[in-house]
Amino acid sequence: DSGVTQTPKHLITATGQRVTLRCSPRSGDLSVYWYQQSLDQGLQFLIQYYNGEERAKGNILERFSAQQFPDLHSELNLSSLELGDSALYFCASSGAGTLLGELFFGEGSRLTVL
């Protein structure tokens, strides 16, 4: 158990819809990262937050947005969903006291867009 909690574990929705994925980082971790893993693209970095502020942005679509709240949990919002958005979405956290570059990943949220 990494200590990172992601909900929901599975989600099935239709094209054009909007969903929110939630991540609770390990206790005390200030950084949260979001990754997308699809069959053809591998594990893609989307975005990083540190203590509520966006720090790094990867290949995140404009239809996607994220935020980190004062209690440090994070949400990834996916809108105008397309079939190609079907993927595993992972959240990871890191913080003070952990090795530089050591990320702790949750078990992921599997999104299926029909």
Residues that bind other proteins (CB under 8 A): 2, 4, 31, 33, 35, 37, 42-45, 48, 50, 54-58, 88, 90, 92, 99-108, 110
Which CB sits closer to other proteins, 86 or 105? 105
Which CB sits closer to other proteins, 11 or 88? 88
Q: Least distance from C-beta 11 to other proteins, angstroms?
A: 15
**63, 46 contact by CB (below 8 A):** no
Q: Is the dihedral of CA 59, 60, 62, 63 positive or negative?
A: positive
Q: Least distance from C-beta 47 to other proteins, angstroms?
A: 9
Q: Least distance from C-beta 16 to other proteins, angstroms?
A: 26
Q: For the chain, what is the radius of gyration of the CA atoms? A: 13
**74, 89 contact by CB (below 8 A):** no
Measured CA distances, 108 to 43, 57, 97 (Å): 12, 19, 24
Which CB sits closer to other proteins, 91 or 113? 91
